[in-house]
Amino acid sequence: MKRISGSLIGLLALGFMHVAAVKAEGSAPQPPRLSNGLALTPPMGWNTWNKFGCAINETVIRQAADTMVSSGMKDAGYEYIVIDDCWQSGRDAKGQIVADPERFPAGMKALGDYIHSRGLKFGIYSDAGKLTCGKRPGSLGHEYQDARTYASWGVDYLKYDWCSTYSQDAKSTYETMSDALRASGRPIVFSICEWGLSKPWLWGNTIGNLWRTTDDIYDHWQGRHSYEHSVMDILDLQVGLESYAGPGHWNDPDMLEVGNGKMTIEEYKSHFSLWAVLAAPLMAGNDLATMTPDIKAILTNKEVIAIDQDPLGVQASRAAKHGDYEAWARPLKGGGRAVVLLNRSKASHPITVTWDDLHLPSSLSLKVRDLWTHKDLSGAKGSFSAEVPSHGVVMVRLD
Amino acid sequence: MKRFVLALFMLVFGLTFMASFASAEAAPPRPPRQSNGLALTPPMGWNSWNKFACNINESVIRAAADAMVSSGMKDAGYQYVVIDDCWHGERDINGDIQADPKRFPSGIKALADYIHGKGLKFGIYSDAGKKTCAGRPGSRGFEYQDARQYAAWGVDYLKYDWCSTGSQDAKSSYETMSDALRASGRPIVFSLCEWGQSKPWLWGETIGNLWRMSGDIYDGWESRDGRENGMTNILDMQVGIESYAGPGHWNDPDMLEVGNGGMTFEEYKSHFSLWAVLAAPLIAGNDLAHMSKETKSILTNKEVIAVDQDALGIQASRIAKNGDDEVWVKPLKGGGRAIVLFNRSKETRRIGVTWEALGYPASLGLSVRNLWDHKNLSRTKGSFAADVPPHGVVMIRVEA
């Protein structure tokens, strides 16, 4: 019987190969994929890259974890401490990935334990190619082994980059690590960092929990610098992607530059407000240990964070654009709206959003709450207007 | 200093990166890849699939190894005993692949040792996707771990299939296993079984040692009943890809069906002769322990095999086709030629070839050796012709 079923399978396999050859495809259709059930609101945390680049070690990470708690960031909802590139040194004789013993003498398991002991979660970084962007060993061909190692270290979050991938197909490459993470038995948030090259919003839904939509952000208000995008540049690239975001699967306009020094406080407030209405992952990228009260006030604005974390999980659309004056609106659970009035110009200017822009009946009276001054404004009917500073926002919640 | 170097490195990297972004590619060009130095002549051996498919176990494989030696196949040059699909069990808790414990109770290492003990080499099978064609665990995501396991078992040859690969890119998928095999530290011949879909001849040269260029062969003369890849159909697909073959990297028109019963003796002789001039891997696919004398006489024809294994490693071209009459020519080391006069029709045909068509001066006198009769014919100038039986060949070797 066994032999018969064996030949039957063989015969079926031949049949498949035949069909495959005819259709010029590689394989039979796969059953529908399910998501991993994680990140039902956009992940919040801190990542080493924007501030420290490759200059990381276990002291830097422990300090960040300590400050995440002492600064009130943890209370505000930040959870993941993510080590970006440059923690790896090589592989051992069995192919296991090894942390750089000079930078991480206590090892990754100890570091994960430390982070967990602070009530935080532990994230790590790898790459879908042979080498990471910093030329450390990538995970290609080692996916299951690496996922198992991460799980044994207590990893809760993996950022997975796209350097040295050459002709690799992005979807199946990320799918392989996605499968490997699930096979590890540990719930691990999967952050797809493919720079938007092959439109991950079209296929990332059940493979990862967030996907980068562009190349790297840099600490700048507008323009583009080689492969790097400014805040305004990335914002514009979100238009059209709104419908792909939702609980468990988010567009990722990259990590925050708030507090890294090349933009004004007004601009950082805009950056943070816009990321919040976009339902973006809020991954701080500054030096938490030395941040100023101004910066802390931005990163820990709980009313803005509540918009980002709204359980409906709808990403804002640009509801109106009149030259440099824009209104971004995000539907909230319960029927309200978060609205960001954005002034890209070099002078203060009044900006109005109408209820038509928000797809609301113009006769409707709404309560208005300013999420930066933390004050209830007078109610509005038909439209809402405010004076918006240069490169600034007014962010309100309408209920 | 270290920080400075690092910063410099990041800068350089950033610039390279920018360049790649501009050209809409994911990475900068890499240093040229080297081949692994194996299979300088087309691999010869036996594979379980064509005859046994999934009905394999360690007795079948050992019997094949025994028969490979006792039949004279080994003496004729056959070397690799390759287990195709269905040897796999599950992966263990560390993700290491294990053999099916019921079919291979002694384990793969013991089987490899047995095969090596016979003076033969040991081949195995896996798949570039999540599952093999028969639904066993594939190597996707486990490439390095699997290569390490194969090396520990003593594997000398890997056939690597293309089922359940979804949207995977073929080149990089095969490259990953190629890198993994090399990292294992053991020389392992790498057989790309991608069915020719993404033209592996364009990229396979330094990744593998042979690449399939079509779907699976079946044991028949030509396409029928919706099955496309009869022997002559695969033959026709060779035209145009001759130049991609050479020492260490061969077009693979799939394994031999000689002796499996779907073709006549004459047809099997044609199949074998044509595969030999094509410099094809000669991987027998019949039941070696029970083959007839006729089948053995085909598979062990040392003069035909010598053509296949010619050190120059040039794949034959079809230099003439007049309806059903064809002439296939393979240049040999030393300036000679192997020639297959091939008759696809159902009656005997007289087929000839001129020296001019072979690239020789018409005045050149050449010795002519019939590789099936094992007889020297009279020395000839200008041209050669012979009566060729239906569905048959006359295979000769000409030399100055």
Return the HEC string of chain A.
CHHHHHHHHHHHHHHHHHHHHHHCCCCCCCCCCCCCCCCCCCCEEEECHHHHCCCCCHHHHHHHHHHHHHCCHHHHCCCEEECCCCCEEEECCCCCEEECCCCCCCHHHHHHHHHHHCCCEEEEEEECCCECCCCCECCCCCHHHHHHHHHHHCCCEEEEECCCCCCCCHHHHHHHHHHHHHHCCCCCEEEECCCCCCCHHHCCCCCCCEEECCCCECCCCCCEECCEECHHHHHHHCCCCHHHCECCEEEECCCCCCCCCCCCHHHHHHHHHHHHHCCCCEEECCCHHHCCHHHHHHHCCHHHHHHHCCCCCCCCEEEEEECCEEEEEEECCCCCEEEEEEECCCCCEEEEEECCCCCCCCCCEEEEEECCCCEEEEEEECEEEEEECCCCEEEEEEC
Contacts of A165 in chain B (CB under 8 A): 26-27, 172
Which of A84, A127, A215, A216 is the catalytic position? A216
- Per-residue pLDDT tens for B17-62? 443 333 333 455 677 899 999 999 999 999 999 999 999 999 999 9
What residue in B sits closest to A3 (Cα-Cα)? B55
Any idea what the Cα angle at residue A311 is, between residues A310 and A313, rounded to 5°? 80
In the residue annotation, A216 being an active-site residue is answered as yes
Dmax (CA) for chain A in angstroms is: 82
Count Cα atoms within 13 angstroms, Cβ side, for B131: 12
Q: What is the mean pLDDT of residues A63-88?
A: 98
Q: What is the mean pLDDT of residues A217-243?
A: 96
Q: Does the beta-carbon distance from A144 to B167 stay under 8 Å?
A: no
- What pLDDT was estimated at residue B224? 87
Tokens of B347: 């009656």
Q: Does the beta-carbon distance from B53 to A142 stay under 8 Å?
A: no
Q: What is the mean pLDDT of residues A282-298?
A: 97
* CA atoms of B73 and B272, how far apart (whole Å): 14
* CA atoms of B56 and A15, how far apart (whole Å): 20
Q: What is the mean pLDDT of residues A273-296?
A: 97
- What pLDDT was estimated at residue B32? 85
Q: Does the beta-carbon distance from A172 to B18 stay under 8 Å?
A: no
Q: Does the beta-carbon distance from A20 to B94 stay under 8 Å?
A: no
What residue in A sits closest to B228 (Cα-Cα)? A18
Which residues, 6 or more positions from A285, have their beta carbon under 8 angstroms from its beta carbon? Answer: A46, A47, A49, A50, A51, A255, A256, A257, A258, A260
* CA atoms of B116 and B43, how far apart (whole Å): 16
- Is pLDDT above 70 for A26? no
What residue in A sits closest to B86 (Cα-Cα)? A6
- Is pLDDT above 50 for A19? no
- Nearest by CB to residue B163, choosing from A6, A16, A172, is A16
- What pLDDT was estimated at residue A29? 60
Which of A167, A218, A237 should be substituted to probe chain B, the one whose Cβ sees the most B Cβ atoms within 10 Å?
A167
Which of B342, B354, B343 lies closest to B382 in space, CA to CA?
B354
**Residue type present at position A136:** R
Q: Would you state the torsion angle of the CA atoms of residues A263, A264, A267, A269, taken in this order, to the nearest 10 degrees?
A: 120
For residue A222, the distance in angstroms to the closest alpha carbon of chain B comes to 18
Name the pLDDT band for B12 (thresholds 50, 70, 90).
very low
- What pLDDT was estimated at residue B228? 86
For residue B197, the distance in angstroms to the closest alpha carbon of chain A comes to 7
- Mean pLDDT score of chain A: 93
Name the pLDDT band for A30 (thresholds 50, 70, 90).
low
- Per-residue pLDDT tens for B307-339? 999 999 999 999 999 999 999 999 999 999 999
Which position has the higher pLDDT, A36 or A3?
Answer: A36
Contacts of A3 in chain B (CB under 8 A): 55
- What pLDDT was estimated at residue B227? 84
Which of A78, A155, A75 lies closest to A122 in space, CA to CA?
A155
State the DSSP code for B278. T
Any idea what the Cα angle at residue B224 is, between residues B220 and B227, rounded to 5°? 85
Q: Taking a C-beta distance cutoff of 8 angstroms, is the pair B16, B28 a contact? A: yes
- What pLDDT was estimated at residue B28? 59
Q: What are phi and psi of A117, to 5 degrees?
A: -65, -20
Q: Taking a C-beta distance cutoff of 8 angstroms, is the pair B22, B261 a contact? A: no
- Per-residue pLDDT tens for B84-136? 999 999 999 999 999 999 999 999 999 999 999 999 999 999 999 999 999 99
- What pLDDT was estimated at residue B18? 40
Q: What is the mean pLDDT of residues A117-131?
A: 98
